């Protein structure tokens, strides 16, 4: 044994490790204060609380999907409104939610004598009086419990 060196330290660069770490003795532990426990609980609550699915909304707006009227939360993308109407089915749908898949494509207008437009519903914000005239097979399948487009 070389004097002045710890025989348990093989790497000379790690020689600065305190002796108590090598012997397994830990530094004295202070009991946590009330405030640090409360702060930790709030952090855990923030981490585990599920984020809300919908953007904040104060009221519902009326839309028509393939001739049938529904009320959905304002200030939300149309696909999210579909999810409001059929939560489970839309959640399990094959939607990317970021403009890649195109499974959420719809055609819509904003009432009588307004132009018909095509859009992807994951990016299209819902508006009061919106009329969705055509939807993809994926959306139709996800909204099957609403019995829309039965005449088709
Ligand atoms: S959900 Fe994929 S493009 Fe809208």
pLDDT at res. 12? 59
Q: Is residue 46 part of a domain?
A: no
Compute the distance from residue 3 Cα to the ligand 1 centre, in Å.
70
Distance 14 CA to ligand 1 centre (A): 53
Specify if 11 maps to a domain. no
Pocket test for ligand 1, best of 76, 94, 104, 119 (most atoms within 8 A of CB): 104
Pocket test for ligand 1, best of 80, 90, 94, 98 (most atoms within 8 A of CB): 98
Q: How far apart are CA 78 and CA 130, in angstroms?
A: 10
Q: Determine whether the shortest distance from the Cβ of 94 to ligand 1 is under 6 A.
A: no
pLDDT tens digits, 32-84: 777 777 776 566 555 555 568 999 999 999 999 999 999 999 999 999 999 99
Domain tally, the chain:
1
Ligand 1 atom with the shortest distance to the CA of 96: 2
CB 111 within 8 A of CB 132: no
Cβ–Cβ < 8 Å for 134, 106: yes
Q: Identify the CATH number of the domain in which residue 91 sits.
A: 3.10.20.30
Is there a domain that residue 36 lies in? no
Residue 127: domain span: 60-146
Rounded CA separation 96/102 (Å): 8
The predicted model gives 18-28 an average pLDDT of 65
Structural domain contains residue 132: yes
Q: What is the CA(98)–ligand 1 centre distance, in A?
A: 5
Q: Could you read off the pLDDT of 100-141 as tens digits, one per residue?
A: 999 999 999 999 999 999 999 999 999 999 999 999 999 999
């Amino acid at each position: 044994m070389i004097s002045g060196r710890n025989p348990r330290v093989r790497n000379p660069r790690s020689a600065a490790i305190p002796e108590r770490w090598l012997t397994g003795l830990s530094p004295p532990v202070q009991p946590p204060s009330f405030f640090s426990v409360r702060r930790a609980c709030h952090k855990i609550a923030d981490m585990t609380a599920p984020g809300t699915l919908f953007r904040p909304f104060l009221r519902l707006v009326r839309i028509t999907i393939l001739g049938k009227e529904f009320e959905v939360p304002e200030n939300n993308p149309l696909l999210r409104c579909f999810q409001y109407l059929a939560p489970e089915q839309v959640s399990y749908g094959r939607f990317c939610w970021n403009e890649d898949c195109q499974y959420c494509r719809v055609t819509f207008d904003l009432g009588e004598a307004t132009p018909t437009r095509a859009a992807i519903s994951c990016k299209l914000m819902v508006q009061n009086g919106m009329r969705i005239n055509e939807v993809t097979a994926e959306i139709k399948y996800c909204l099957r419990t609403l019995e829309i487009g039965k005449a088709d």
